[in-house]
Amino acid sequence: MLVAHCIMAQMPKLLDKSCIEEFLNSFDNVLTDCDGVLWRGDDIIGRSNEALSLIRSLGKKILYITNNSTKTREEYAKKCESMNFVADKEDIMSSAYATAFYLNQQQFNKKVYILGASGIALELDEVGIAHTEVGPEHQIVDPLVIDRVMKLEPGVGAVVVGFDSHLSFPKIVRATSHLKDPDCLFIATNRDEWFPNTNTDLLIPSAGCMVSCVEVVVQRPPLVIGKPSKNMFSILSEKHPLQASRTLMIGDRFNTDILFGKNCNLKTMLVLTGVTKMEDLEEYASSLDEEKHNLLPDYYLPSLDDIINLLKDFSS
């Protein structure tokens, strides 16, 4: 019985009628993750747009924060509009934008080798930083001849690794070869392990897979720009008046969203529509591993949708 009591004591609060008022009074700003919270790929999750509109109608500011580096802020703003989320470009923070912002802030003036998608390339263009092309590279079948045919682009001073659906052996060789130079910066947009998806037969690798491919060879860690690193909160705070203690982070992953919230001293809420499932939450809550306890959110909800009924009850 004592064990059961301890386990219950560790579970985060399910957001329900009993705590909705305390919850709403605890924040003015919301940072919401996107994949697994608002949408999966091009499919909106339930009525997440209506849920955010209701929260906004209570005077809360909503900002979007995603580790996905495949799109620009502009493209995310269009995606939001097409799914009826209210979002201005300035309300969106992505790891691609944050990477370009960081390099620009560092007055980086060399070329970036991109192992990633067009989101990174276009955001670098916005700040005038030179970079290599993105997209597929001709596959060299025999790795033993690669040293005779491959030429590296000159002037590369940073390698940025994000999600790349055209990941290939030649691209990894280019990334690792540039990083032989100890002065070449090694930057990862994010290290998410896999994408939330609805096909339970598939486990779809995310940027963490690409980052590990390079890291294991060069044997030095990258600077990670996306969550759980605090970079994106610092950049957002320069553009919006955000008081950490009055900001709520909503996400679907422990080791990115919730840890980011904790690193930045934000309130945290986990939803179970993405990567993390109820069984994971229960496992973390009942674990004897303190590291897992530290990744537990303040609140959880099965789906962001569920807040719609809670808020209707609250305002009536």
Active site residues: 33, 35
* Least spacing, CB of residue 295 vs Mg ion, in Å: 14
Query: Which of positions 135-174 make contact with Mg ion (CB under 5 A)?
Result: none
Token look-up 């969550």 returns 227
* Least spacing, CB of residue 227 vs Mg ion, in Å: 9
Query: Which of positions 3-42 make contact with Mg ion (CB under 5 A)?
Result: 33, 35-36
Give the binding-site size for Mg ion (rule: CB under 5 A): 5
* Least spacing, CB of residue 59 vs Mg ion, in Å: 26
Stretch that binds Mg ion, among 69-77, 111-119, 227-235, 270-278 (CB under 5 A): 270-278
Stretch that binds Mg ion, among 12-20, 171-179, 268-276, 291-299 (CB under 5 A): 268-276
Nearer to Mg ion, 95 or 231 (CB): 95
Query: Which of positions 99-118 make contact with Mg ion (CB under 5 A)?
Result: none
Nearer to Mg ion, 35 or 306 (CB): 35
Structure token digits, residue 84: 């009826």
Query: Which of positions 203-262 make contact with Mg ion (CB under 5 A)?
Result: 252
Nearer to Mg ion, 116 or 274 (CB): 274
Nearer to Mg ion, 194 or 314 (CB): 194
| Sites of contact with Mg ion (CB under 5 A) | 33, 35-36, 252, 274
